[in-house]
Amino acid sequence: MASSGSKLVLGIETSCDESAVALLRVARPYAESEILFEQISSQIKLHQLYGGVVPELAAREHLAALPVLYSELVEKTGVNLRDIDCIAVTRGPGLKGCLMIGTDFARGLSLPNSTALIGVNHIEGHLLVPLLDNPALNFPYLALVVSGGHTELVRVSGVGEYAVLARTTDDAAGEAFDKSAHLLGFQYPGGAELAALADSLPEQALPEGLAISLPQVMRNKVDFSFSGLKTAVSLMVKREQGRLSEPGVRYHLAKAIQEAIVQALASKVRQALHAESYAALVVTGGVSANNSLRKALANLCEKEFANTRLYYPRREHCTDNATMIAFAGGLRSITNEHYDLEPLARWPVESLKAT
Ligand code: KG4
Ligand code: ZN
């Protein structure tokens, strides 16, 4: 049985192309929570064949992967289904067919013991998991969520207390990385590979005649937008297409693209920190693994916002995982707030209620 004040939570994530399960003892203070098991099965290799996520294939993969992941969890932890206080599963936002596999699996596991079920907002998972990984972090904080599907700046005042200050009007930052990576010839998703090329050492000299010009992204608008950059990158890469195999050309293009995306993100963070002061800035979601973004934000805080401390989730919790779903679900179940499990392709994080 769970010790008092803590809950044993099973987390399930299937919103896109990662199937994941986790078993957590979720406690207050949050940092006393314990990860008993976490495992991710990535489908990237499958979707690489098609250059992007194929929703039907993704759903089928989740269906095959979840029982295997769950058996491994039971085998490694020895947990008995009876002892699980709550099953937290991603309800949205995400691909509906994929979400449905996760929610149906959760429902099935809940049947024998009428285990409590909670549908978790995927973005809320990204927003809250830094609390698990950083004992010093407390509400309120400014959070930059940068993933393959989302780019949002959120004031996080408590569990369920989210004010979205800016979001993207078109592509997400991760998509901007991935679409550019595709143009440079990287396999899907490609964002991390583009970043690795841009950061590669030793630095390479600028090849003669290489013209690199990318626009500053939406400097004066409140929201993010990456569509102008996408067009500019596409024109630039087309212009240099014949030279992509020359030494240094792809490197310099990748560097310029990464810098444009990072500058766009950092300048919005700067605006938000000027408008309101925060003791903590949290960066979360897949793109938060990007080293150049980390450097730019560290530099910004050091130079202009010395009272703002920068936090990230652990590297393995930057990208999609079930630990963040178990954690967010656990924080909500402790206060007895439950949602139904009907999958939601769209589910704005600001529509959630405070606990
Ligand atoms: O949070 P996440 O795993 O999935 C979504 O919820 O979308 O984020 C995946 C995104 C992809 O676009 C991937 O290319 C990007 O995060 N990504 C990176 C890096 N690592 C992952 N982008 C830039 N630099 C990285 N190091
Ligand atoms: Zn995500």
pLDDT tens, 262-311? 999 999 999 999 999 999 999 999 999 999 999 999 999 999 999 999 99
Q: What is the mean pLDDT of residues 316-340?
A: 88
Q: With bands split at pLDDT 50, 70 and 90, how would you rate the model's confidence at 2?
A: very low
Residue minimizing CA distance to atom 14 of ligand 1: 191
Q: To test the ligand 1 pocket, which listed residue (294, 319, 349) has its Cβ within 8 A of the most ligand atoms?
A: 319
d(CA 313, CA 297): 15
* Token pair listed for 145: 């969520």
Residue minimizing CA distance to atom 21 of ligand 1: 286
DSSP 8-state secondary structure symbol assigned to residue 85: -
pLDDT reported for residue 219: 67
pLDDT reported for residue 218: 64
* Token pair listed for 200: 């590669």
Q: What is the mean pLDDT of residues 340-355?
A: 90
Burial class (CB in 10 A: 0-12, 13-18, 19+), 141: buried
- Cα 265 to middle of ligand 1, angstroms: 14
- Cα 122 to middle of ligand 1, angstroms: 14
Whether 8 shows a pLDDT value over 90: the answer reads yes
Give the number of whichever ligand sits closest to the CA of residue 283: 1
CB 292 within 8 A of CB 262: yes
**Residue 191 CA, closest ligand 1 atom number:** 14
pLDDT reported for residue 183: 95
Q: With bands split at pLDDT 50, 70 and 90, how would you rate the model's confidence at 189?
A: very high
Residue minimizing CA distance to atom 13 of ligand 1: 191
pLDDT reported for residue 204: 86
* Bigger pLDDT: 44 vs 139: 139
Q: To test the ligand 1 pocket, which listed residue (18, 40, 145, 147) has its Cβ within 8 A of the most ligand atoms?
A: 147
Q: Which residues line ligand 1 (CB under 6 A)?
A: 16, 147-149, 174, 177-178, 189, 191-192, 195, 285-287, 289-290, 319-320
- Cα 151 to middle of ligand 2, angstroms: 10
**Residue 258 CA, closest ligand 1 atom number:** 23
Condensed to tens digits (0 to 9), the pLDDT of residues 90-111 reads 999 999 999 999 999 999 999 9
Identity of residue 11:
G
Q: With bands split at pLDDT 50, 70 and 90, how would you rate the model's confidence at 19?
A: very high
d(CA 60, CA 66): 10
Condensed to tens digits (0 to 9), the pLDDT of residues 64-88 reads 999 999 999 999 999 999 999 999 9
Give the number of whichever ligand sits closest to the CA of residue 44: 1
CB 106 within 8 A of CB 69: no
Q: To test the ligand 1 pocket, which listed residue (287, 323, 349) has its Cβ within 8 A of the most ligand atoms?
A: 287
Give the number of whichever ligand sits closest to the CA of residue 318: 1
The Cα-based distances of 286 to 31, 118, 308 in angstroms read 22, 24, 22
Across the chain, mean pLDDT equals 93
Q: What is the mean pLDDT of residues 205-233?
A: 86
Q: With bands split at pLDDT 50, 70 and 90, how would you rate the model's confidence at 1?
A: very low
**Please, what is the end-to-end C-alpha distance for the chain in angstroms?**
24
Beta bridge partner(s), residue 168: 224
Condensed to tens digits (0 to 9), the pLDDT of residues 151-180 reads 999 999 999 999 999 999 999 999 999 999
**Residue 148 CA, closest ligand 1 atom number:** 7
In this prediction the pTM is 0.94
Return the percentage of the chain with pLDDT > 70, whole number: 97
pLDDT reported for residue 202: 86
Whether 3 shows a pLDDT value over 50: the answer reads no
**Rg of the chain's alpha carbons, rounded to an integer?**
21
